[in-house]
Amino acid sequence: MHKIVAREDFSDVTYLLEVEHPMLAKAAKPGQFVIVRHNEQSERIPLTIADFDRQKGTITLVIQAVGKTTRQMQKDCVAGSSLAGVVGPMGVPSHIGDVKKIVCVGGGLGVAPVFPQLRSYKEKGAYAIGIVGFRNKDLIFWEDRFRRYCDDLIICTDDGSSGVKGMVTDGLRIAFEKHPDIDEVVAIGPPVMMKSCAEITRPLKVKTMVSLNPIMVDGTGMCGGCRVRVGGEMRFGCTDGPDFDGHLVDFDELMIRLGRFRDDEKLALENWSQCNKKHD
């Protein structure tokens, strides 16, 4: 059992859990993820490590309540409660190269996992540009963290209520106009967003790394559910990734795979919601 020492709600669907796990916190590196079980009967779900504190012995998870398990966790997981299982760190750590100027793009929930990478690049001496996107100003979180490590921060909102009106791709174009000497881009968010970022950088021949979160069960490469085509070859998101060259990822196939169990996920959520109403 791993104790939840803090919780913060960013919106009605997005929440943060800080979990006590000294060994994991000591070993965690940017880009890695964990497999979490809410209780003994729960399914296993992959969650990216949004942050870690080696001194406190904690890891931070930022979760969006979209399915049965994440909504149940939103309801039950409060400070003082515990998670039945947290396994990790898993996946290949992000390669923090020696670049002079880096852009880290986070869209929606991708804002949280891109932060450790941006911080690591900055600590390594790079000029760090952050681009984060939200639907509106009320959903913005961690702005203070990004400003602490960003030499330039571009905030994008769909409705223009804060920063640039538009998507993170609009912010990325602005970044290239201001900084034509960008060496590398890291983009994390919905597949369509990462694909769009990769298409912007492709003609510029700027290396672009993306972090994939395909359907995953065991996280060890045994189930094969996280298969993704990269450069014409089949790779596993859990053991070969989650970071891949965005110019080589077959995003169209990835998005089809992500929708395979949509009907089952919808049914599971409906059944859980009905049971929850009865108990209430």
Average pLDDT over residues 215-234: 78
Distance CA 85, CA 153 (A): 36
* pLDDT above 80: residue 260: no
Average pLDDT over residues 57-73: 87
* pLDDT above 80: residue 270: no
2-90 and 92-207 agree in CATH topology: no
Q: What is the pLDDT of residue 259?
A: 67
Q: What is the pLDDT of residue 271?
A: 65
Predicted TM-score (pTM) of the model is: 0.85
pLDDT digits (tens, 9 = 90+) for 240-250: 878 899 999 99
Residue in 13, 17, 16, 14 with CA at minimum distance from that of residue 4: 17
**Average model confidence (pLDDT) across the chain:** 87
pLDDT digits (tens, 9 = 90+) for 77-117: 899 999 998 888 988 888 888 899 999 999 877 888 899 99
Q: What is the pLDDT of residue 78?
A: 92
End-to-end CA distance of the chain: 26
- Extents of the domains making up the chain: 2-90, 92-207, 212-261
CATH classification of 2-90 is 2.40.30.10, yes or no?
A: yes
Q: If you write DSSP's letter for every residue of the chain in order, what string do you get?
A: -EEEEEEEESSSSEEEEEEE-HHHHHH--TT-EEEEESSTTSPPEEEE--EEETTTTEEEEEEE--SHHHHHHHHH--TT-EESEEEEEESPPP-----SEEEEEEEGGGHHHHHHHHHHHHHTT-EEEEEEEESSGGG---HHHHHHH-SEEEEEETTSSSSEES-HHHHHHHHHHH-TT--EEEEES-HHHHHHHHHHHTTTT-EEEEE-----SSSSSSS-TTEEEETTEEEETTTT-SEEETTTB-HHHHHHHHTTTHHHHHHHHHHHHHHHHHH-
Q: What is the pLDDT of residue 179?
A: 92
Fold topology of 92-207? Rossmann fold (3.40.50)
Q: Do residues 69 and 45 lie in contact, with contact meaning Cβ atoms separated by under 8 Å?
A: yes
Q: Can you read off the two tokens belonging to residue 249?
A: 């990822």
Q: What is the pLDDT of residue 225?
A: 74
What are the distances in angstroms from CA 194 to CA 16, 21, 207, 255, 257?
23, 31, 13, 12, 16
Average pLDDT over residues 164-176: 93
